[in-house]
Amino acid sequence: MQERAALSPAQINGDLLHFALKTPRQFWIALGVLGAIVLAGVVSEGFIVVLGLQLLGLTNTVYWSVFIANFVFWVGISHAGVMISAILRLVYAEWRRPITRCAEVLTIFALATAGLFPLIHTGRVWRTIYWVFPYDFTRNVWPDVRSALIWDPSAIVTYLIGTILFVYSDLLPDLANARDRSAGFRRRVYAVLSLGFRGTVRQWRLQTIAGILLASLILPVFVSVHSIVSWDFSMAILPGWHSTIFAPYFVIGAIHSGVAGVVTVMVLVRRFLRLEDYIRPEHFDAVGRLQVVVAASWLFFFLMDFYFGIFSREAAEIEVWNLRLFTPPYSALLLVMIITGYLIPVPLWLFRRCRRSVRIMFWTSLAVNVALWIERYMLVITPLSYKEPFTFTWVTAYKPQPVEYIITAAAVALVLLGLLVFAKLFPIVPVWAVKEGQVLRREVRIGRVTVPAVAREKKY
């Protein structure tokens, strides 16, 4: 079946630059709603700064709260963005074209949001300056590079800068295109940002190579980041955290939630920017197939974590799993996690009809992210909550407080707000890549059928 419609360059420009160059009323409504939620989060953070961490539900053992779970969750979401984009570029997957930039931009805003949580978590945010500069300037006492808490920011800063550069270099031709289609102040801004890109043969040649080169460089960063985030936990000698499986387990969990996050953004972009001709059921079908594999791998690592936990027969480890499996509210959360992360979505994704249903893909992708948020919450909170032998450390269950709920919701709004503002300023679907797809598009007659094909320059 021929799904790829033949689109003229003028039509592609009109469709993909429309939202960036014209402002519909819905944009201001969405901006207002998301902005209000973000503002509520900012006010809550203000209360924490002024009144202190007493506003959180921290106990004497649960000193890493839902904010750290949010940090891990958003780092995870950020992961699949660039992973999808980079891997699909490297394997020349033709269906990558409309979705790469959504994925990359999701990475930027999710990672930036994740980066806020360790700062919020400290309460006194100004003291986080000691992560970078000496604790004691006169004696030159620098942060200890032997600590996982130093590896973590180095990895996240690398990933964030790398992703921003990746997006910018890919955006240059589209900025030039927007420059050609705009006027006044907007045109001057696009002209400066596009650096005078004209679309010479040399510029396109380098643009094509750059996509491959940057993808190759950013993939090792992608793998390292969530591994290092996992070491924030596994380097601690704490039952439930001190596990050798954490690095791959975190990476595969990040891919599971990240791919689902990309699907959610694809649906939103398709629906609100009316890009049905560009983000088509075949794209959801392809991502759905990928999700089946990723979900199965994630379940495998979850079971391995459980198996490693109980196999050692250490009382403390078994106690943590006892807490997760049989003690409310964690047992109920675990059940929800398995159901929404695997048992509901995977059987649906096995059917082509479901994978091609935008509605089913949207709801299952949301369900996966509910599951993965719960997973992060369980990973952070339960090892800190288990009852140690000394009774004075026995505590009641950690309960998130209103400010924690508000800031968690504000983080979701902040990521969506970032995506919305980006889509308003720049094309969220790469115009030049879609046009390249049209240049290379062919129809091949085989026997009595005509099948869609793609010409490929096998050079790099």
Residue 165 CB, shortest distance to other proteins, in Å, is: 4
- As measured in angstroms, the least distance from the Cβ of 186 to other proteins is 14
Distance CA 246, CA 411 (A): 25
Single out the residue of 279, 397, 242, 269 nearest to residue 330, CA to CA: 397
Q: What is the DSSP secondary structure assignment for residue 450, as one 8-state letter?
A: E
- Taking CB under 8 A as the criterion, the residue among 35, 199, 281, 400 binding other proteins is 199
CA distance 358 to 268: 10
Nearest C-alpha neighbor of 14 from the set 436, 439, 429, 437: 429
Give the residue, chosen from 59, 61, 122, 208, that forms a contact with other proteins under the rule CB under 8 A: 208
Q: What are residue 449's phi and psi, to 5 degrees?
A: -120, 155
Q: How far apart, in Å, do the first and last CA atoms of the chain sit?
A: 30
**Pair of tokens at residue 157:** 């800063």
Q: How far is the CB of 403 from other proteins (least distance, A)?
A: 33
3-state class (DSSP) for residue 136 = strand
Determine if 132 is a binding residue for other proteins (CB under 8 A).
Answer: no
| Shortest distance, position 212 Cβ to other proteins, whole Å | 10
Q: At what angle do helices 330-338 and 358-385 cross, to 10 degrees?
A: 150
Site string for other proteins, 396-435 (x = CB under 8 A): ------------------------------------x--x
Exactly one of 61, 203, 322, 401 binds other proteins (CB under 8 A); that residue is 203
What minimum distance in Å lies between the beta carbon of 17 and other proteins? 10
Where would I find the beta strands (DSSP E) of 126-192?
A: none
Find the binder of other proteins among 58, 176, 358, 412 (CB under 8 A).
Answer: 176
Residue 242 near other proteins by CB under 8 A: no
Position among 18, 181, 186, 441 found at the interface with other proteins (CB under 8 A):
181
Q: For other proteins, give the closer residue by CB, 25 or 458.
A: 458
| 157 binds other proteins, rule: CB under 8 A | yes
DSSP codes joined into one string, 348-405: HHTSHHHHT-HHHHHHHHHHHHHHHHHHHHHHHHHHHHS--SSGGG--PPP---HHHH
Which residues in 271-290 contact other proteins (CB under 8 A)? none
Q: Are 225 and 156 spatial neighbours (Cβ–Cβ below 8 Å)?
A: yes
- Which are the contacts of 184, defined by CB distance < 8 A and separation ≥ 6? none
Residues 10-39: x/- map of binding to other proteins (CB under 8 A)?
A: x--x--------------------------
Q: Which residues bind other proteins (CB under 8 A)?
A: 8-10, 13, 139-147, 150-151, 154-155, 157-158, 161-162, 165-166, 168-169, 172-173, 176-177, 180-181, 195-210, 213-214, 217-218, 220-221, 224, 228, 432, 435-436, 438-439, 455, 457, 459
